[in-house]
Structure 1
Amino acid sequence: MAETSGASGASIELEHLTKRYPGAPEPAVDSVSMEIKAGETVIFVGPSGCGKSTTLKMINRLIEPTGGRIRINGEDVTDIDPVKLRRKVGYAIQSAGLFPHMTVAQNIALVPRMIGWGKGRIGDRVEELLDLVGLDPGEFHGRYPRQLSGGQQQRVGVARALAADPPVLLMDEPFGAVDPITRDHLQDELIRLQRELHKTIVFVTHDFDEAIKLGDRIAVLRERSHIAQFDTPEAILTNPADDFVSGFVGAGAALKRLNLTRVRDVEITDYPTVTVDDPLQEIFTKLRASGTNEVLLLDRRGRPYKWLRRGDMMRAKGSLARAGTLVSDTVTRDATLRDALEAVLTDSAGRVAVTGGRGEYTGVVDMETLMNSVHELLEADRLEAMEHQHQLEEIRADRTHAEQEGADGGGRKA
């Protein structure tokens, strides 16, 4: 993977940010104040029409505020040229928003070309970014958006948003239009990218599970972008501020915490593997030696391709073309335990292959490992609830004691 050594994140301060539309009785966004730290991923989550996208778009002034200030790294950007501001702030939207008449490379090169980068520097940057988002530069450089899947288009959209190496990346429901499996993989990719790049990311979603998975902090917004709670995912799950926030958390807070633990945090086991180029006799030998009664067949790029069992090979008369079961799903090390659990539950053998940044095999995680983690989370929740109950009882006892002392003191005075 290409090394990236560009600008890391910038702090963002919103001070009484307001948007009023002519003729509307109430402001769409009403005096929002918020501080976002450099390198932090902050998620805006709230019901449809609450003003979260409007608030996001005011940060790069795609929508002009009617009141308040915006500071990026301490600089007040409320009055500077909005076009210049937008070139310094990456922006990714739902359905990628790629220009259909431009190739992948031309789409990514758009902002660097506008700000005057040289041809050689642009070419290097396009290649670096395609590599970074897990697309082979040789394969995708000259393709047009219509030749890409929805997930590939979103990857190109993220690459384009990062092209001029902005410190701030704004993302407006960028994964909302793709299927659930692709969405999970794109979320994992964003987590991996952020661990490498340390940008400041402000991300809008209506999906609370996505917010938990991606956010360092979550801003739960009511109507007119009033902040109901702005805190870490753990704090919101365990101590929602009020009934409105509790409604977003919903039932099963302990299970939602599976979105806070990554596959890389649990034991990833190695598994017997063979490749499509291995001689059949060697594959039979590995199958016989396998304590699991199956091996994982990898393609020529080292990616999981098929699960092979002894019976499969016998029935298919030794031909790899007809043998085995295609790998239907994989997870990355940045996937959450919830993603892994869903993948394992849909697999009859109760395991899922774990892959690296380019889809290459790195190991397997199984049902037993995941269930142990679920039990640990539930036990931690139970202990936390007991501790909370104990603290409440102590507070009540102290209050009762104080009231008794007060009554005794009053009696003596009399």
Structure 2
Amino acid sequence: MTETATGTAAASAASGARIQLENLTKRYPGSPSPAVDDVSLEIKPGETVILVGPSGCGKSTTLRMINRLIEPTSGRIRIDEEDVTDIDPVGLRRKIGYAIQASGLFPHMTVAENIALVPKMVGWSKSRVKDRVEEMLDLVGLDPREFHGRYPRQLSGGQQQRVGVARALAADPPVLLMDEPFGAVDPITRDHLQDELIRLQRELHKTIVFVTHDFDEAIKLGDRIAVLRERSHIAQFDTPEAILTNPADDFVSGFVGAGAALKRLNLTRVRDVGIADFPTVSVDDPIESIFNKLREGPYNELLMLDRRSRPYKWLRRGDLMRAKGSPARAGQLVHDTVTRDATLHDALDAVLIDSSGRVAVTGRRGEFIGVVDMETLMNSVQEMLQADRLAAMEHEHDLEELRHHRTETELEGGADG
């Protein structure tokens, strides 16, 4: 399926629904205190809300009560004003996407069969299910021809998680619940999966409730973050920027941890800082044409792409001299790439571990788009710091004016007395 076709399909998909939790409580028999105690929360349509808090605080229990995998003891759950606490829970779950850690794929089913599961259950036609499977694989960046007939054991951890998200979205639900879905993969794969989720959400506008214990992940993904204490009591519910700059109390400050200013690098995306062109060659190009391109261009380095147009190696003149006629043997492997939805923090990490001083930016299937270099990133950081300084000066000025006004008021009151 083409990019245009996918975009059209995504545009026609069901948008997100409003979720309201009203005095939601869960008590387990024999426990002296509730696991979740009187939680009220409203989530806007199309919003990504992150539930974050220490282990055992009740965040996963709260999430699972929304689709009634765990039945609430008391309270109400409304989705687009419909009270779902009294309707058939199995039917409810078919209308809500659910993605968990380690994907939860059925090992005896192929990728296509896993994705088709819920659409078949709700009565979609065979042709519609078949088209939807291809559409969803394309949407999560997996080639349908390559992955359609594979089994979960034949996939990497990151590929399994992509299929898990595709399955959760297959029946086009307005709500997607995600319970630490990226917790079992390596850090680089996790970064890329987070970027994919951000890209998908920009296209689909679902209502996403996402559980994590990782505050950096919460900052990166969330429109708003609910920081939870014990029994899911809400310590602060606000935007990532507001929580970083103005934590509600010591508990929230402790959860944010050190380096709040650096964590703000997770609020800016690569697509916002300027992606530059960079000269490339193919792994199949003859060595003479590569030499010519190096001589003619302004750079002393080229990026070699593989046969699928993915970044492969950084090539310098000296590398080619040692290549003995085969460019594929020369150069330094590309250690990491970022997508347009990666954060400034991700991009800086990638640049710092790569000897080229820049990082390649890739598309949905890993194809090369451009580069972001250290100078661009540092300029963006400087702009952010300058904006912070100006905001701090304005805040101090406002406080000074407030103090001055209070002093004048007190003096006038004293004179009247």
CA distance in 1: counterparts of 2:319 and 2:105, whole angstroms: 44
Correspondence for 2:97: 90
CA distance in 2: counterparts of 1:319 and 1:280, whole angstroms: 7
Q: Which runs of structure 2 are paired with 1:39-58 in the superposition (5 Å)?
A: 39-58=46-65
Is structure 2 residue 167 aligned with structure 1 residue 160? yes
User: Counterpart amino acid of 2:388?
Assistant: D
Correspondence for 2:17: 10
CA distance in 2: counterparts of 1:348 and 1:278, whole angstroms: 23
Correspondence for 1:318: 325
Q: Which runs of structure 2 are paired with 1:164-203 in the superposition (5 Å)?
A: 164-203=171-210
CA distance in 1: counterparts of 2:356 and 2:338, whole angstroms: 16
Encode CA deviations 1:25-83: one digit per residue, 9 max, x unaligned: 11111111111111110000111111100000000000000011001011110100000
From 257, 266, 269, give the equivalent of 1:259. Answer: 266
CA distance in 2: counterparts of 1:301 and 1:315, whole angstroms: 25
From 336, 344, 349, give the equivalent of 2:356. Answer: 349
Cα drift, residue 326 of structure 1: 1.2
Correspondence for 2:340: 333
Say if 2:25 and 2:73, in contact at 8 Å, map to a contact too. Answer: yes
Correspondence for 1:210: 217
Correspondence for 2:139: 132
Is the deviation greater in 253-262 or in 396-405? 396-405
Say if 1:44 and 1:219, in contact at 8 Å, map to a contact too. Answer: yes
User: Counterpart amino acid of 1:284?
Assistant: F
SS at match of 1:258: helix
Correspondence for 1:280: 287
Correspondence for 1:295: 302
SS at match of 2:32: coil
Correspondence for 1:221: 228
The count of corresponding residues between Structure 1 and Structure 2 is: 410
CA distance in 1: counterparts of 2:351 and 2:410, whole angstroms: 56
Cα drift, residue 246 of structure 1: 1.1
Cα drift, residue 16 of structure 1: 0.5
Say if 1:254 and 1:381, in contact at 8 Å, map to a contact too. Answer: no
CA distance in 2: counterparts of 1:230 and 1:135, whole angstroms: 35
SS at match of 1:400: helix
SS at match of 1:370: helix
User: Counterpart amino acid of 2:208?
Assistant: I
Cα drift, residue 309 of structure 1: 0.7
Cα drift, residue 120 of structure 1: 1.3
Say if 1:90 and 1:168, in contact at 8 Å, map to a contact too. Answer: yes
User: Counterpart amino acid of 1:399?
Assistant: R
Correspondence for 1:81: 88
User: Counterpart amino acid of 2:345?
Assistant: R
User: Counterpart amino acid of 2:270?
Assistant: V
TM-score normalised per structure 1: 0.97
Say if 1:255 and 1:374, in contact at 8 Å, map to a contact too. Answer: no
User: Counterpart amino acid of 1:298?
Assistant: L
Cα drift, residue 279 of structure 1: 2.4
Correspondence for 1:402: 409
Correspondence for 2:370: 363
SS at match of 1:146: helix
SS at match of 1:201: strand
Say if 2:283 and 2:306, in contact at 8 Å, map to a contact too. Answer: yes
Say if 2:314 and 2:356, in contact at 8 Å, map to a contact too. Answer: no
Is the deviation greater in 78-87 or in 349-358? 349-358
Say if 2:269 and 2:340, in contact at 8 Å, map to a contact too. Answer: yes
Cα drift, residue 251 of structure 1: 2.1
Is structure 2 residue 77 aligned with structure 1 residue 70? yes
Correspondence for 1:114: 121
TM-score normalised per structure 2: 0.97
SS at match of 1:321: helix
CA distance in 2: counterparts of 1:194 and 1:395, whole angstroms: 42
Name the % identity: 82
User: Counterpart amino acid of 1:47?
Assistant: P
User: Counterpart amino acid of 2:315?
Assistant: L
Say if 1:55 and 1:225, in contact at 8 Å, map to a contact too. Answer: yes
